[in-house]
Homo-oligomer: A and B are copies of this chain.
């Protein structure tokens, strides 16, 4: 993913978040999970900076939405407490992989700052 592509995705997310009236943190990482772009909107929770970056990283490292991991990480689940690995993963909604025209994962976005459903909606706007 290019920086320009990431900037366009962040702008789409900010537009959606502004429309929803929810200040968000938006992180975009490459396929290796390394940070490519980050934006924090005015009044967004400071604690969500780290969460947005971890959501994006988690989605990239496992090539799936963070919420899909959360379904398996509950008590009794196959991936119970996987969150403590990799220096700290996030397994609730708001992290989504980004794929190219061939379906290959080229990066991921992570959004944090609102209710989880709001984070997911903004992440979807970034994915496009």
How many copies, total? Answer: 4
Chain A 70-114 interface mask (CB, 8 Å, partner B; 1/0): 100111101111111111111111000000000000000000000
Minimum Cβ distance to chain B for residue A42 (Å): 6
> Smallest CB-CB separation from A60: which chain B residue?
B46
Q: Contact at B116–A79, with CB atoms within 8 Å?
A: yes
Given A85-B51, A85-B54, A115-B78, A61 contacting B38 (CB threshold 8 A): no
B contact residues around A7 at 8 Å (CB): 39
Q: Contact at A47–B79, with CB atoms within 8 Å?
A: no
Q: Contact at B47–A62, with CB atoms within 8 Å?
A: yes
Residues of chain A having any CB pair with chain B under 8 Å: 2-3, 7, 30-42, 45-51, 54, 58, 60-63, 70, 73-76, 78-93, 115-116
